[in-house]
Structures are given as C-alpha cells and as structure tokens.
C-alpha cells in the first residue's frame, strides 16, 4: 500500500508467522488424512489448500449466494463470492505489510464462507431454527458448517478419477472455523492450544491458532462494513437523514480527509493502515481506539439502517418459506426405503429427487453400486435409516444450495405441471 508507514515503523511479524521454523508450523501443516504428493509439485501446503478450495463446487456456488441483498440481478451488488475475494485481498495486504504468510491467509479467506447458507445470515437463522426445533444438532452456525464442508462434504477427483475429501491443513481448517467477523475485536492474538476443531461449540469461542487466521477474522469485518453501504447507496434505500448521518460519521472519523462517502477502497485503506501501524507481535493485531470506535459505529449504523431495512422484511419471510418448504418435503421421505420413496415422486419433483438422491448416495452407505459407479471414495457420514442422521443430511443439502437453486427447488415443489 502506498505511503502506509507514514514515517512510523511497522512491526515485523515474520518470527511469529506460520513459516518453517515457527514452533507451530508442523502442527499447522498437519492433515487428518495425508494427500498425494508428486515430485514435481513445488507448491506449499497452504498453496495446495487454496487451489483445492478454488476447484471445489461449494466455492463456485458462492457467486449465487446472498451477501446482504438477495437474488439480485444487478451485476454491481456484492454476492458471497465477491465478499470472500475482498477478504482475501485485505488479509493478503495485511500479511505482506506485517510479513505474515500470505499463502495461508489466502487459503483461509477464500474458504471461510463455504458453509454459508442460502439467503445470507437470514438463511442461517432459519436453518438454526429448524435444527433446534427437530433436535438435529446443538445449533447451526456457518463457521462450523464451513468446517463440516471442507472436512466431510466437498470432494475433488484424484488422478484415478476417485472423488476424495479435501483433507486440508490444520491451520486452514482452524482459520475457517474461527473466522467469525460479526463480533467486535479490537485486539487479536492467536491461541497456543492445538485442539480438536470439532469440539468448538459456538462462533468466536476461540481465537485462531495462527496470526494469519486472526488477520482473516479482522479482514472479514473490514470487508463487509463499507461494502454494505455501497450496495445500499446503489439501491437508494437510505433516506436523506440517514445519508446525512453517514456523512457526519465520516467527518468525525476522518477530520483531516476530504471524503464524500464510505467507499470500500477508501475505508479499507484507512483501516488496514491503522491496523498495521498499531500492531506488534507482543500485543497482537490491534486497531487504534479511534478506528475501532469508527468500525463499531458503522456496524451499528449498517444493522439499523441496512440489514433491518423494511424492504428486506418480505425477503426474510420468503426465505423462511423457501427453506422450510424444502426441509418439510424432504423430511417426508424418511422411513422404509428412502431412495425408493424419492424415486416414487421423481415425475413430480425431478430436480429435487435427482440432486438429493445423489447427495444420499455420495454421503451414505445406500446404493453402494451407484457409489462405486460414480467413483465416490469420500467419507460416509450419514446413516439414512436413522432419522436424526437423515435430517442432518437434509440440513447440509439445503445449506449447500445457492439462492437460485433453492428458489428453483421451491418452485418445483409448489408447481403443478
């Protein structure tokens, strides 16, 4: 970043960064299951993780998943895939300035929302209501669901064409499950404990294991603050008084700057600069008091004026109707022969049956001949003769959906042809 130091010395984090020589490095690059390695592949473990994420289907679906404004036809409105790209860009800049491992932050950043539900956080709340209502699991939160997807759901073909799980490194898995950017953190330092990540019970329960994971968490917050405002201005949903309030916030935040609005690049620049100027390995990644206050004020402003805008109220009702309708329809097929029950209604719901049946074949022990035919060599994680396990398969299937696909399935369920 140009002139980021402003004659103030930037701390060097290279001794605590996740490179060879760091005491945490061997644990950070460990995998639950080793992956194949060829002699000519010179990529680092974290580069390999980034590429494995880039090629998986959950990453592709992010382009049609809501950030704030759902199912938009406007090419300039942020979707989830643009958001993870912003997070990656911000985290990489921080890593380069502070001499952290940029390969690790990129891998965490592009994978951090792979388990996000359709319809943004509203979809997450709806699915959580379902898992609590039917006692399917303790709670649904997208950070843990992202870990589930990279550990158990997403696959890639190996050299024999066999679909295998991603089997990412510990540091990437850890950064993803610990990334929650919805909480207020002025200072972040990594934890020392090397733990079983599946034991983490709720979002932001623990700090990340690496400084790179902490950087992504802060980058996540920076990425959405100003971008939400840009989208609201594009759609012209802010009143004149709300725009004046925003101008007042900017004037107080940046009294020496001639800024007319909170654009993504401008606000991000100032926040990255502030973080880098105020951080050191001993105390952690640290925002100044003034910048942290600005972030808190903008976050409250966004929640009040954008996320809770009255024009989003019908969307919230619609999202609930879509997700609950799909869940209830799929829940009907449990009992007896699930695959037979599905096939009996293929003529009515061809897309629902086709995709969900393939999902059950891939992730359960049902139809082993089809599993072999399709080269599914990934983990078996569901027992579809057990209702709770079956419902977990349904929840994961719905959470994987892009907005458009969920709407397509919903329309198929309610239509007569």
What does the block give as tokens for 70? 């759902």
Q: Is the dihedral of CA 64, 309, 268, 264 positive or negative?
A: positive
* Mean confidence (pLDDT) of the chain: 92
Q: Are residues 367 and 228 in the same domain?
A: no
Confidence band (pLDDT; 50, 70, 90) for 2?
A: very low
Domain that holds residue 398: 312-414
Assigned domain for 300 exists: yes
| Residue where a domain stops, chosen among 260, 283, 308 | 308
- The residue among 41 and 107 whose pLDDT is bigger is 107
8-state DSSP, 112: T
- The stretch 99-112 carries a mean pLDDT of 98
Token digits of residue 187: 């200072």
Whether the per-residue pLDDT at 287 is higher than 70: the answer is yes
Q: Domain end: 308, 333, 350, which one?
A: 308
Q: Are residues 35 and 50 in the same domain?
A: yes
The rounded distance, in Å, linking the Cα atoms of 186 and 195 is 24
Domain count across the chain: 2
The pLDDT of residue 184 is 78
| Beta pairing, strands 155-157 & 163-165 | antiparallel
- Decide: 94 and 276 in contact? Cβ < 8 Å: yes
pLDDT, tens digit (0-9, with 9 covering 90-100), for 182-234? 667 899 999 999 999 999 988 888 999 999 999 999 999 999 888 888 899 88
Cα torsion through 326, 327, 331, 337, rounded to 10:
60
Distance CA 333, CA 203 (A): 32
- Judgement on whether residues 235 and 316 belong to the same structural domain of the protein: no
Q: Is residue 15 part of a domain?
A: no
Average pLDDT over residues 15-23: 97
pLDDT on residue 264: 58
> Do the domain assignments include residue 99?
yes
With CA atoms as reference, report the closest residue to 112 among 275, 15, 231, 224. 224
At 227 the pLDDT is 86
Do 161 and 174 fall within a single domain? yes
How confident is residue 1, by pLDDT bands cut at 50, 70 and 90? very low
Check: CB of residue 62 under 8 Å from CB of residue 80: yes
Q: How far apart are the C-alpha atoms of 182 and 193, rounded to whole Å?
A: 23
Residue 344 has pLDDT above 90, yes or no: yes
Task: Compute CA 284 distance to the chain's CA centroid, rounded to the nearest angstrom.
Answer: 24
Mean pLDDT of 110-129: 96
CA-based end-to-end distance of the chain: 57
Please, what is the angle between helix 289-302 and helix 211-234, to 10°? 50
pLDDT band at 38 (very low <50, low <70, confident <90, very high): confident
Residues 302 and 251 reside in one and the same domain: yes
Shared-domain flag, residues 210 and 278 = yes
CA distance 284 to 12: 12
Indicate whether 394 belongs to any domain.
Answer: yes
Residue 358 confidence (pLDDT): 97
**What pLDDT was estimated at residue 7?**
57
Instruction: Give the residue from 308, 332, 362 where a domain finishes.
Output: 308
What three-state secondary structure class fits 210?
coil
pLDDT at 42 (0 to 100)? 86
Cα separations in angstroms, 229 against 169, 309, 318, 326: 35, 12, 23, 32
pLDDT digits (tens, 9 = 90+) for 315-331: 999 999 999 999 999 99
Q: How confident is the model over 138-187, as pLDDT tens digits?
A: 999 999 999 999 999 999 999 899 999 999 999 999 999 999 866 678 99
Evaluate whether 328 touches 336 at the Cβ level (below 8 Å). no
For residues 319 and 333, state if they share a domain.
yes
Q: Residue 72: is its pLDDT beyond 70?
A: no
Same domain, 293 and 406: no
Do 284 and 346 fall within a single domain? no
Decide if 402 contacts 65 (C-beta within 8 A): yes
CA distance 211 to 356: 39
């Amino acid at each position: 970043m140009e002139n980021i130091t402003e004659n103030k010395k930037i701390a060097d984090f290279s001794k605590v960064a996740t490179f060879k020589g760091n005491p945490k490095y061997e644990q950070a690059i460990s995998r639950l299951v080793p992956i194949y390695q060829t002699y000519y592949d010179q990529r680092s473990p974290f580069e390999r993780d980034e590429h494995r994420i880039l090629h998986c289907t959950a990453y592709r679906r992010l382009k049609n998943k809501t950030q704030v404004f759902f199912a938009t036809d406007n090419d300039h409105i942020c979707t989830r895939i643009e958001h993870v790209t912003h997070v990656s860009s911000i985290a990489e800049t921080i890593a380069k300035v502070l001499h952290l491992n940029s390969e690790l932050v990129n891998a965490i950043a592009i994978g951090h929302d792979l388990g996000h539900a359709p319809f943004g956080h509203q979809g997450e709340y709806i699915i959580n209501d379902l898992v609590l209502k039917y006692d399917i699991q303790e709670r649904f939160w997208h950070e843990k669901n992202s870990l589930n997807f990279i550990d158990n759901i997403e696959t890639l073909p190996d050299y024999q064409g066999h679909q295998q799980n991603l089997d990412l490194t510990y540091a990437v898995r850890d950064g993803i499950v610990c990334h929650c950017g919805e909480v207020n953190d002025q200072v972040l330092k990594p934890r020392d404990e090397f733990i079983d990540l599946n034991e983490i019970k709720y979002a932001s329960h623990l700090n990340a294991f690496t400084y790179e994971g902490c950087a992504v968490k802060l980058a996540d917050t920076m990425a959405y603050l100003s971008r939400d405002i840009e989208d609201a201005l594009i759609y012209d949903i802010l009143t004149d008084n709300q725009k004046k309030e925003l101008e007042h916030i900017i004037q107080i935040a940046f009294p020496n700057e001639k800024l007319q609005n909170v654009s993504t690049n401008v606000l991000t620049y100032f926040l990255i600069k502030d973080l880098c100027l105020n951080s050191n390995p001993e105390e952690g990644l640290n925002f100044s008091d003034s910048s942290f206050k600005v972030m808190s004020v903008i976050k409250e402003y966004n929640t009040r004026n954008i996320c809770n805008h009255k024009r989003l109220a019908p969307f919230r009702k619609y999202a609930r109707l879509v997700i609950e309708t799909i869940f209830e329809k799929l829940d009907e097929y449990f009992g007896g022969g699930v695959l037979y029950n599905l096939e009996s209604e293929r003529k009515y719901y061809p897309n629902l049956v086709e995709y969900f049946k393939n999902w059950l074949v891939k992730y359960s022990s049902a139809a082993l001949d089809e599993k072999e035919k399709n080269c599914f060599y990934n983990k078996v994680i569901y027992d579809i003769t057990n209702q709770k396990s079956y419902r977990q398969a349904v929840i994961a299937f719905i959470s994987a959906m892009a907005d458009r696909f969920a709407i397509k399935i919903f329309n198929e369920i309610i239509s007569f042809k």
